[in-house]
């Protein structure tokens, strides 16, 4: 059983919501609001309980959004009225390409991060965008904080900015790299990248 199934009822009340997850969602929405998305469609990969989908529905209602979530947390998202596919990044397949794919705080938990970026590209519309945001270990403090986080989640690998750029550049052009958190939480960076047009 996935440890994430245990958070189905409690995820939205976790201590990290206020200091980490909510600021990340706000930064993502600010970034999306500045972009022209092909087809005006968005996929939230590993959407959890659908909190980003909630915020997008309220703030950018013209976007057609759907989520992908392998854990039981998807049931909360579905109960709110969101379209959510039960899948993980490794097995996700869709005939549709999306104007934007978003992945917040899930990328470090993907076992094959090279393959994940390749799959993102496969499902991104030409001229569309990928937005990834997650914590990273820039300092000893970051490492200590994330060691505590790992005790309550699954195995994770937090890529540094240089590694993220290396992973993204074969498929996307980096548009923006933004630090989005306060000093007292681990370093969180958001990457906005655009796929080339045909």
Domains of the chain, start order:
3-195 (3.40.50.150)
The values of phi and psi at residue 75, to 5°, are -65, -35
What are the Cα distances from residue 86, in Å, to 70, 113, 124, 127, 187?
A: 5, 20, 19, 27, 30
pTM: 0.84
- For residue range 14-37, list pLDDT tens digits in order: 544 445 677 888 999 999 999 999
Chain-centroid distance of CA 1 in Å reads 22
Please check whether residue 125 is in contact with residue 97, taking contact to mean a CB–CB distance below 8 angstroms. yes
Q: Is the per-residue pLDDT at 145 higher than 70?
A: no
In three-state secondary structure terms, 6 is helix
């Amino acid at each position: 059983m996935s440890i994430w199934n245990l958070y189905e009822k409690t995820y939205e009340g976790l201590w990290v919501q206020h200091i980490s997850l909510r600021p990340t969602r706000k930064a993502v929405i600010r970034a999306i609001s500045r972009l022209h998305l092909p087809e005006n469609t968005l996929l939230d990969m590993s959407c959890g309980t659908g909190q980003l989908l909630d915020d997008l529905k309220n703030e950018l209602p013209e976007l057609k959004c759907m989520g992908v979530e392998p854990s039981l947390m998807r049931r909360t998202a579905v109960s709110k009225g969101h379209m959510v596919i039960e899948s993980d990044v490794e097995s996700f397949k869709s005939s549709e390409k999306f104007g934007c794919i978003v992945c917040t705080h899930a990328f470090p938990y993907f076992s094959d991060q090279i393959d994940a970026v390749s799959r993102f590209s496969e499902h991104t519309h030409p001229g569309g965008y990928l937005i990834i945001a997650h914590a990273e270990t820039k300092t000893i403090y970051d490492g200590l904080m994330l060691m505590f986080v790992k005790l309550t989640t699954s195995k994770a690998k937090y890529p540094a900015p240089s590694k993220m750029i290396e992973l993204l550049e074969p498929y996307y052009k980096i548009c923006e790299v933004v630090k989005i958190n306060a000093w007292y939480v681990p370093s969180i960076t958001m990457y906005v990248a655009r796929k080339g047009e045909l």
